[in-house]
């Protein structure tokens, strides 16, 4: 579009659109401007607390931003971050992310360029992605890995029985409360057996990943990383919780298995020590959890200086707008590592979000439209209302009923 009145351009509206076309609650921020037809979209999805994010966007972010210049992205990000005095946290950061990504979308539309061009241009033509393969036994996981390989994927995350695995559960004590039970020790043993089987059957021409999801004690994480060395994982993800991050020093001194961490980090400053002290190989940051593209670009630059690669979080509870933002950043980041991918190929998703990134032969591509290149059909989005229900998968317990981090 041709911008008629760039001088005096202001933000006129900031709204949060809620939709769940695939049954996952998504939050997308729409920033409108005084230039007719000029607006931007940003991902603000914190699916477990989406209503709180909507309140933060419309009751706090919107009044603060209306009347301001949408071109001053850095100034708006910095001022909105400190406007409530207390900083960071998943609700504020996701709300701020929606604003930030939308402002970058507007910036691209003003320039008439896709976002990756504003970030310095392409470092690669396509973005390699990884998919998730699961199964009840090693043979079923192998079968599902092969299906993805036939589709052209060469990076595949392998789990067996979901997070925590299929560890055989002994009898529980009496009156145990409800929850998702697992046996950490049995799980750790099953992971080694899984990758022993996969490498024996698949060889080493496919890159394999695994997500521990904090399901073992820190010392067991060290032991597991050492035992997985012969299978040359592309990386082992979240083997310790953020609260136990110093354990990575011990793990690093004893194992060469590549480590990826960080989807639970909120404050970008949490990354400084793990990156600068060479404790991690990949950052798994959730871009909306950081506060948007502005802090994510700075984190990527920090990582480049210390030989750490990016692997932005990309599950189903990132909106297609967020996935598009990930891919644009991946294209322009020299120290890019890999991108998680959840699909985005259902008919409802495509109808609600025209312009989704495309996957061909294991690579993700964005279109060359200005900005993010993705839009939202608000009438279609309204057909898929969000449902506010208690989150159950995070209620995770060990054999004796002890609640543990999910």
Active site residues: 163, 213
Q: Which two tokens stand for residue 344?
A: 């985005």
CA-CA-CA-CA torsion sign (79, 83, 85, 87): negative
Whole-angstrom distance, CA of residue 372 vs CA of residue 204: 36
Q: Considering only the C-alpha atoms of the chain, give the largest distance between any 2 of them, rounded to a whole number of Å.
A: 71
Whole-angstrom distance, CA of residue 17 vs CA of residue 43: 10
* φ and ψ of 223, to 5 deg: -60, -45
Whole-angstrom distance, CA of residue 118 vs CA of residue 294: 12
CA-CA-CA-CA torsion sign (76, 313, 395, 387): positive
Residue identified by tokens 């998702």 is: 180
SS3 for 171? coil
Neighbours of 36 (CB within 10 A): 10
User: Which candidate, 265, 266, 404, 372, places its Cα nearest to that of 28?
Assistant: 372
Q: Are 352 and 380 in contact (CB under 8 A)?
A: yes
Q: What are the start-end ranges of the E strands in 72-231?
A: 127-133, 155-158, 180-181, 207-211
Whole-angstrom distance, CA of residue 48 vs CA of residue 137: 30
Residues paired with residue 128 on neighbouring β-strands, in sequence order: 363
Q: Which two tokens stand for residue 102?
A: 């939308």
Residue identified by tokens 């036939």 is: 150
Give 58's DSSP letter.
Answer: I
372-405 burial, b at 16+ Cβ within 10 Å, e below that, comes to: bbbbbeeebbeebebeeeeeeeeebbbbeeeebe
Whole-angstrom distance, CA of residue 50 vs CA of residue 44: 8
């Amino acid at each position: 579009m041709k911008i008629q009145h760039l001088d005096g351009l202001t933000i006129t509206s900031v709204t949060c659109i809620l939709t769940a076309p695939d049954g996952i609650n998504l939050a997308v921020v729409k920033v409108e401007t005084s230039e007719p037809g000029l607006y931007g979209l940003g991902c603000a999805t914190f699916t477990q607390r989406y209503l709180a994010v909507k309140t933060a966007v419309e009751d706090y972010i919107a009044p603060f931003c209306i009347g301001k210049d949408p071109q001053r992205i850095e100034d708006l990000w910095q001022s909105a971050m400190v406007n409530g005095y207390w900083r960071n946290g998943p609700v504020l950061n996701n709300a701020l992310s929606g604003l930030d990504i939308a402002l970058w979308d507007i910036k691209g539309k003003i320039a008439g360029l896709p976002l990756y061009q504003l970030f310095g241009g392409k470092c690669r033509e396509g973005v390699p992605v990884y998919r998730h393969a699961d199964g009840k036994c090693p043979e079923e996981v192998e079968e599902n890995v092969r299906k993805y390989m036939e589709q052209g994927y060469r990076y595949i995350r392998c789990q067996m029985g979901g997070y925590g695995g299929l560890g055989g559960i002994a009898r529980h004590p009496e009156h145990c409360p409800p929850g998702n039970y697992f046996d950490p020790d049995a799980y750790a043993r099953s992971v080694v057996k899984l990758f022993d089987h996969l490498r024996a059957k698949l060889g080493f021409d496919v890159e394999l990943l695994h997500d521990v999801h904090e399901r073992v004690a820190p010392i067991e994480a060290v032991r597991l990383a050492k035992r997985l060395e012969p299978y040359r994982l592309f990386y082992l993800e979240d083997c310790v919780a953020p609260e136990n991050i110093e354990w990575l020093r011990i793990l690093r001194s004893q194992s060469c298995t590549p480590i990826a961490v960080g989807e639970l980090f909120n404050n970008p400053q949490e990354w400084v020590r793990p990156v600068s002290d060479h404790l991690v190989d990949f950052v798994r940051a959730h871009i909306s959890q950081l506060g948007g593209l502005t802090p994510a670009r700075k984190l990527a630059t920090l990582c480049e200086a210390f030989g750490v690669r990016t692997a932005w979080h990309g599950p189903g509870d990132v909106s297609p707008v967020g996935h598009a933002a990930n891919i644009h950043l991946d294209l322009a980041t020299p120290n890019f590592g890999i991108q998680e991918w959840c699909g985005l190929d259902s008919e409802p998703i495509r109808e609600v979000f025209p312009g989704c990134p495309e996957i061909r032969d294991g690579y993700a591509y964005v279109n060359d439209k200005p900005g993010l290149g993705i839009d939202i059909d608000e009438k279609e989005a309204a057909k898929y209302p969000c449902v506010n229900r208690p989150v159950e998968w995070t209620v995770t317990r060990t054999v004796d009923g002890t609640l543990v981090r999910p």
